[in-house]
Amino acid sequence: MIRFQSNRTVAVGEAMIELAETGDGTYRQGFAGDAFNTAWHMAQIPGLELPVRFVTKVGTDTLSDAFVDALEASGLDASFVGRVPDRTMGLYMIELNGTERSFHYWRDASAARLLADEDAWLARSLQGAGLIHVSGITLAILHAEAQARLISTLALARRQGALVSFDPNVRPRLWPSSDAAREAIQSMLAVTDIALPSFDDEASLWGDRSPFETVERLRAEQVAEIVVKNGAGAITVWDGERLAQAPCTPVARISDTSGAGDAFNAGYLAARLEGRAPVHAIASGQVMSATVLQHFGARIPLGQVPNLATVTPHIPAD
């Protein structure tokens, strides 16, 4: 089982302006993005006080200012939020149909697309990290040279002792082709220690017929720790020594499915950083995911993030 050199966490990705439907045709403005959601939830867990840095680029407009202010006010390290004068933050709107959601995006001028354009800046942003979290969306918004630069910088950070977690989070519309997505993700897996895929993504992109096939494919890429999310189905985990499954507890009063996987990642990774074994950390991920499902938008309201110290670990089936 892998061990962390420290609990200092760095998440790299895009934050966007979120317009989340709250019912009756009204929307609430906030900020969200998959890697950002994970980082934000990790920093809010009561009692843990995890040091979390979010690495991105935003504009110099008032909404970008508001994002940086909100980031700092919620306890995250914003020292590597770069500012780009001629760019803005991307924007997306969540449209709900019952509890299911669809997304509308405006992100062509997103400053985050430039987050890996400066080698030295990017390398400095990762220094001292025990854990670095990246997603497939982070890769997808970058041009090919920037993807390669990010991956090589992650490789350097790993040589310095950091571990890398990766959620492929496949969004086909962000990729020019399935082949381009597979090529970039394959390269990313070479620097991944903890993989956090969703089975529906893996089945669609790679043709996996079961979560067990996903585990075997990622093990062949030398990924040390693998957690396959599967909606309301059982979670499959490989901890480096054994394969197990944990059932997914039903969630009552679901309001919105946005951000459920990101919140799971936050709970799982926080529990791992606190020393829980992978099979036990799943329960913390599920509690975080269930909580975000009961609220509108991709993040749990401030002050309502659950205390993971009270979570009872699962004893999963082999």
Residues carrying an active site annotation = 262
Neighbouring C-alpha atoms within 13 Å toward the C-beta of 27: 12
The rounded distance, in Å, linking the Cα atoms of 91 and 222 is 36
Helices in 10-142 by DSSP H: which ranges?
34-44, 62-73, 119-126, 136-140
Q: Can you tell me which residue has the tokens 């009204």? A: 26
Contacts of 192 by beta carbon, 8 Å cutoff, 6+ apart: 164, 165, 166, 221, 223
What CA–CA distances, in Å, run from 201 to 43, 214, 285?
27, 10, 19
Beta bridge partners of 243: 238
Indicate the angle between helix axes 178-189 and 199-206, nearest 10 degrees.
120
3-class DSSP assignment, residue 281: helix
Helix (H) or strand (E) holding 99: none
Cα 207–Cα 36–Cα 4 angle in degrees, nearest 5: 80
The rounded distance, in Å, linking the Cα atoms of 143 and 204 is 23
3-class DSSP assignment, residue 102: strand
Structure tokens at 237: 């985990």
- Enter the DSSP assignment of 260: H
Helices in the chain by DSSP H: which ranges?
34-44, 62-73, 119-126, 136-140, 144-159, 178-189, 199-206, 211-220, 260-273, 278-293
